[in-house]
Amino acid sequence: MSYIELKQVSYQYPLASEWALNDVTYSFEKGKLYGIIGANRGGKTTLCNLVRGFIPHFYQGELMGQVLIEGKDIREWENHQLSTEIGYIFQNPFSQISGVKETVFEEIALGLENLGVDKDEMIERTIQVVKWLKLEDLIKKNPNNLSGGQRQRVAFASIIVMNHDILVIDEPTSQLDPSSTAEVFEIIHMLKEQKKTILLVEHKVELIAEYADEVLVFEKGQIASYGSPADILSRKDLMERGISIPSVALLGHEMREKNMAMDSIPITKSQALEQILKGGKNDD
Amino acid sequence: MKQSHKLTIFLIPIGVAVNFICGQIILLLKLPIYLDSIGTIAVGALCGGIPGAIVGAISNILNSITNPTNMAYIILNVLFGLLAGFLAKRGVFNSLWKTTLSALAFAIVGGGLGSRITYWFFGGLGAGTTGAITGILMQMGFSANTGVFITEFFADILDKIPTVIIVFLILQRIPAKTLVKLPQGKLFIKEKADTKGI
Amino acid sequence: MDYEFAYSFKKPQLTNNWILDMNPLSKLNLLIILFIIPITVQSWKWNVMIIIFYFLVALVAGCFKRFTRLYLRFGLMVGLLLFVLRALFIPGENLLYKLWFINITQEGVDSGLQFSTLVVAICGAIILYSIVTRAKDFMYMIEKLGASRVISYVILSSFQSIIDLGEMSKVILDSQRARGIETEGNIRQRIKAFIPILGPLFLGAISNAEEKAIAMDARAFSMPIKNTHLCHLRSLPVGEKAILIAANIAFIGFVVWRLMA
């Protein structure tokens, strides 16, 4: 069953001369992780804003076509209903901290306060998320004094505690160092195991290759290609269009050019290793 | 619309902070003015008189924590915000010379009404350099009433001319895509939208 | 996992100092009384007594240092100036001292003493209140009285915005200095330095505000229902109620007595 459906959607930001999305049609299914890649200004963030309803509820501009969330047109959803249906995690770790709470524990619980959850349940749910995301050491700290990586984990916790079925995650690691990036991806991995429906925009294709069920490539406001990670991320022509592919895939292509036996182009390290080991055995 | 109303909520704290930070930058640059209503006037112009007035009121209350005598002047900060919203609607902040002239209107509130407040609450001799100048004028034979008006009006106009010019320059630099989301932002994108054509 | 901390939110927020733990509105009530007394009494001796009383309260509340720093600075910068200005400039019959064109008179000194202690006494109530009351507790009570969480949010985030923008301005100031913008030279150069600092600061803050608006929306900030609170304050203890009633009755009695006299 399609969960989020886009039917010939075009959108133009106010005063913009170009269409940010141009005739996009796609169906997102429940419980899958969608990796969304593409060059900057290709329409990725616009898609996120649209699915969450920030377009048209926050951003004006011209919207054509239909966006259906659980079968209901986005224009008919009340904005506050969407905030209970769809979680959203942003790129900038700094603008996601409310600025009105003195401890991380209170910061995480803020969304539940807004939802009117009663105190006992609020505390239990917050504890659960803190344990799940291993934020125990941070709970007493002032969220306004945390590092970018810590803030981003708190931002994840603040959304996860609200327990949405759909999560939109827009370049969560673009401002983080490698170790924080790994921590964030551990969180995303756990969310995937919980069978959440996830739309993940991410430049780090190695991570997309590892976790995504489907990959969408955005270019000039359109979906240029889509399919399984193995199909999409092994395509060398993406490189020419300014989109990187995993380095193991590049390696695979080079090995193939050197006439080495390859069943398929690997996109993750473990696949590459498997191929190489097999190759080694063939040589024996 | 509702969405522009939403952004206003988040701009009010920014306006308050700008009022404070300008004071700090002024101290750092050792300039002899206050410039403590830039945030109030900018938010008033961008979001409307009421949000501007709220910025003014909150700034005044926070300022009053260290110097509670400021609270006597809260009405001035409220009026600055309202006036900014009103003047922006009249297109005043779209031209530099009209903007500069508007300093007169702000000084009439700040210096004119402000000097009344100093007179009512402090008998003309408020705490500050203006109080000292008023005192000297009184010794020279001016009444407290006139003395305080002269000093505060001129002190205020010296403060408001750079204030409104800075606000003007800031408004010019705000990108159109941000302006469209603000209640009165469209007032400032008229020309840009025109040049773009249809 | 620090369960003790997590479950501490089940209990009301207490510091075990009876002044700090007093309800923000009770404190407001008592300090309004202290605010009005100097105005009705009009005696500098009373004013001085009230000023001393503030210090005692601050001592008991355990905020003596913080209060004293703020209050002394106010007293010296504003109170003293108000006194000096009046002593110097208020005309009168009894000349005490003549300094060039300035006549210091007994009337001026009296008026200065009277007025400056009055202002310092009144303002002391406000400064003390800001010291012994946490903004978030005050806003909690305002919400309990029916105000929307939007109002709390705007006030509380103003405090944080001042800190955030202050840090941002330092970063911008340093980078503009590194790019050669003169922040030390003559007054014209310093005025010119203002715009390249404030411009990026304001524009950056606006774009942050945009992001924050949708980020808060993602956390159900626009839910049209009454929010709940993780932190709460205790309901008014009987003792506190009794103190309030007694103080208000005594105050009204006092004012009536002053008016009769």
The CA radius of gyration of chain C, in Å to the nearest whole number, is 25
Distance CA B120, CA B116 (A): 6
Written as six digits, the tokens of C18 are 């009876």
Mean pLDDT value of segment A167-181: 92
| Distant-in-sequence, close-in-space partners of A114: CB < 8 Å, separation ≥ 6 | C149, C219, C220, C221, C223, C227
Partners of residue B25 in chain C, C-beta under 8 Å: 169, 173, 194, 197-198
| Residue A263 and residue A284 share a domain | yes
| Residue C207 and residue C121 share a domain | no
Q: Exposed, middle or buried, C69 (CB in 10 Å: 0-12/13-18/19+)? A: exposed
- Residue in chain B closest to A55 (alpha carbons) equals B3
| Residue A260 and residue A178 share a domain | no
Partners of residue B173 in chain C, C-beta under 8 Å: 199, 203
- Name the residue among A100, A80, A155 with its Cα closest to residue C230: A100
Instruction: Return the number of other C-beta atoms located less than 10 Å from residue C102's C-beta.
Output: 14
CATH number for the domain spanning A37: value is 3.40.50.300
C5 lies in some domain: no
| Residue C127 and residue C79 share a domain | yes
Q: Exposed, middle or buried, A138 (CB in 10 Å: 0-12/13-18/19+)? A: buried
| Residue A256 and residue A224 share a domain | no
Determine whether the interchain pair C74/B67 forms a contact, defined as Cβ–Cβ distance below 8 Å: yes
| Residue C253 and residue C168 share a domain | no
| Residue C126 and residue C20 share a domain | yes
pLDDT at residue A14, as a whole number = 87
- Beta pairing partners, A167: A87, A198
Mean pLDDT value of segment A267-284: 73
Determine whether the interchain pair B30/C212 forms a contact, defined as Cβ–Cβ distance below 8 Å: no
Determine whether the interchain pair C164/B125 forms a contact, defined as Cβ–Cβ distance below 8 Å: no
Partners of residue B169 in chain C, C-beta under 8 Å: 195, 199
**Least Cα separation, residue B166 to chain A (angstroms):** 26
Partners of residue B182 in chain A, C-beta under 8 Å: none
| Residue C151 and residue C121 share a domain | no
C2 lies in some domain: no
B38-47 and B144-173 helices cross at what angle (nearest 10)? Answer: 60
| Distant-in-sequence, close-in-space partners of B108: CB < 8 Å, separation ≥ 6 | B153
pLDDT at residue A281, as a whole number = 55
Determine whether the interchain pair B7/C209 forms a contact, defined as Cβ–Cβ distance below 8 Å: yes
| Residue C117 and residue C244 share a domain | yes
The tens digit of pLDDT for each residue in B96-113 reads 999 999 999 999 999 999
Determine whether the interchain pair B62/C158 forms a contact, defined as Cβ–Cβ distance below 8 Å: yes
- Residue in chain B closest to A95 (alpha carbons) equals B10
pLDDT at residue A234, as a whole number = 87
**What 3-state class would DSSP assign to A3?**
strand
Written as six digits, the tokens of B116 are 């009344």
Distance CA A13, CA A19 (A): 7
Structure confidence at residue B192 as a pLDDT band (50, 70, 90): very low
Determine whether the interchain pair C209/B11 forms a contact, defined as Cβ–Cβ distance below 8 Å: yes
B193 lies in some domain: no
Determine whether the interchain pair B125/C158 forms a contact, defined as Cβ–Cβ distance below 8 Å: no
**Is residue B41 over pLDDT 60?**
yes
**Is residue B11 over pLDDT 90?**
yes
Determine whether the interchain pair A17/B189 forms a contact, defined as Cβ–Cβ distance below 8 Å: no
Q: Is A114 on the interface with B (CB under 8 A)?
A: no
Determine whether the interchain pair B177/A17 forms a contact, defined as Cβ–Cβ distance below 8 Å: no
Structure confidence at residue B3 as a pLDDT band (50, 70, 90): low
Structure confidence at residue B128 as a pLDDT band (50, 70, 90): low
**Is residue B194 over pLDDT 50?**
no
C6 lies in some domain: no
Residue ranges making up the domain that contains A164: 2-245
Q: How many domains does chain B have?
A: 1
Structure confidence at residue C219 as a pLDDT band (50, 70, 90): very high
C225 lies in some domain: no
Partners of residue A45 in chain C, C-beta under 8 Å: none
Q: What angle do CA C44, C45, C48 make, to 5 degrees?
A: 85
| Residue C167 and residue C126 share a domain | no
Of the partner residues C102, C162, C213, the one whose CB lies closest to the CB of residue B10: C213
| Residue C15 and residue C89 share a domain | yes
**Least Cα separation, residue C7 to chain B (angstroms):** 32
Determine whether the interchain pair C218/A98 forms a contact, defined as Cβ–Cβ distance below 8 Å: no
Partners of residue C172 in chain B, C-beta under 8 Å: none
pLDDT at residue C116, as a whole number = 93
**Is residue B193 over pLDDT 60?**
no
Interfacial A residues in 30-69 facing B (CB < 8 Å): 57-60
- Beta pairing partners, C104: C97
pLDDT at residue B2, as a whole number = 53
Cis omega before residue A56 (within 30°)?
A: yes
Determine whether the interchain pair A116/C231 forms a contact, defined as Cβ–Cβ distance below 8 Å: no
| Residue A173 and residue A72 share a domain | yes
Residue ranges making up the domain that contains C115: 11-133+234-260
pLDDT at residue A239, as a whole number = 83
The tens digit of pLDDT for each residue in A146-170 reads 999 999 999 999 999 999 999 999 9
- Beta pairing partners, A33: A198
Determine whether the interchain pair A54/C160 forms a contact, defined as Cβ–Cβ distance below 8 Å: no
Residue ranges making up the domain that contains B169: 2-188
Q: How many domains does chain C have?
A: 2
**Least Cα separation, residue C230 to chain B (angstroms):** 23
| Residue C239 and residue C121 share a domain | yes
**Least Cα separation, residue B189 to chain A (angstroms):** 10
| Residue A135 and residue A223 share a domain | yes
**Is residue C133 over pLDDT 90?**
yes
Determine whether the interchain pair A106/C213 forms a contact, defined as Cβ–Cβ distance below 8 Å: no
Of the partner residues C161, C201, C206, the one whose CB lies closest to the CB of residue B178: C206
- Residue in chain B closest to A56 (alpha carbons) equals B3
Structure confidence at residue A43 as a pLDDT band (50, 70, 90): very high
Q: Exposed, middle or buried, A67 (CB in 10 Å: 0-12/13-18/19+)? A: buried
pLDDT at residue C188, as a whole number = 78
Q: Is B186 on the interface with A (CB under 8 A)?
A: no
Distance CA C64, CA A34 (A): 58
B159 lies in some domain: yes
Determine whether the interchain pair C153/A109 forms a contact, defined as Cβ–Cβ distance below 8 Å: no
The tens digit of pLDDT for each residue in A215-251 reads 999 999 999 999 999 899 888 888 888 888 888 888 8
Q: Is B193 on the interface with A (CB under 8 A)?
A: yes
- Beta pairing partners, A214: A34
Mean pLDDT value of segment B163-187: 90
Of the partner residues A83, A100, A139, the one whose CB lies closest to the CB of residue C223: A83
| Residue A142 and residue A279 share a domain | no
Determine whether the interchain pair C228/A100 forms a contact, defined as Cβ–Cβ distance below 8 Å: no
C90 or A231, higher pLDDT: A231
Determine whether the interchain pair B196/A59 forms a contact, defined as Cβ–Cβ distance below 8 Å: no
Q: Which of A137-141, C34-38, C99-103, C205-209 bottoms out in mean pLDDT, i.e. has the lowest?
A: C99-103
- Residue in chain C closest to B180 (alpha carbons) equals C210
C185 lies in some domain: yes
Q: Enter the ipTM.
A: 0.91
| Residue A261 and residue A200 share a domain | no
The tens digit of pLDDT for each residue in A13-41 reads 988 888 999 999 999 999 999 999 998 88
**Is residue A56 over pLDDT 90?**
no
CATH number for the domain spanning B161: value is 1.10.1760
The tens digit of pLDDT for each residue in C137-147 reads 999 999 999 99
B196 lies in some domain: no
B53 lies in some domain: yes
**Least Cα separation, residue C54 to chain A (angstroms):** 28
| Distant-in-sequence, close-in-space partners of A20: CB < 8 Å, separation ≥ 6 | A11, A12, A13, A43, A46, A221
B138 lies in some domain: yes
Q: How many domains does chain A have?
A: 2
**Least Cα separation, residue A82 to chain B (angstroms):** 15
Determine whether the interchain pair A13/B177 forms a contact, defined as Cβ–Cβ distance below 8 Å: yes
| Residue C163 and residue C92 share a domain | no
Structure confidence at residue B195 as a pLDDT band (50, 70, 90): very low
Determine whether the interchain pair A15/B3 forms a contact, defined as Cβ–Cβ distance below 8 Å: no
| Residue C190 and residue C122 share a domain | no
Q: Is B1 on the interface with A (CB under 8 A)?
A: yes
Partners of residue C195 in chain B, C-beta under 8 Å: 166, 169
Which of A100, A142, A154 has the highest number of chain C CBs within 10 A, making it the mutation to test binding with C? A100
**Least Cα separation, residue B173 to chain C (angstroms):** 8
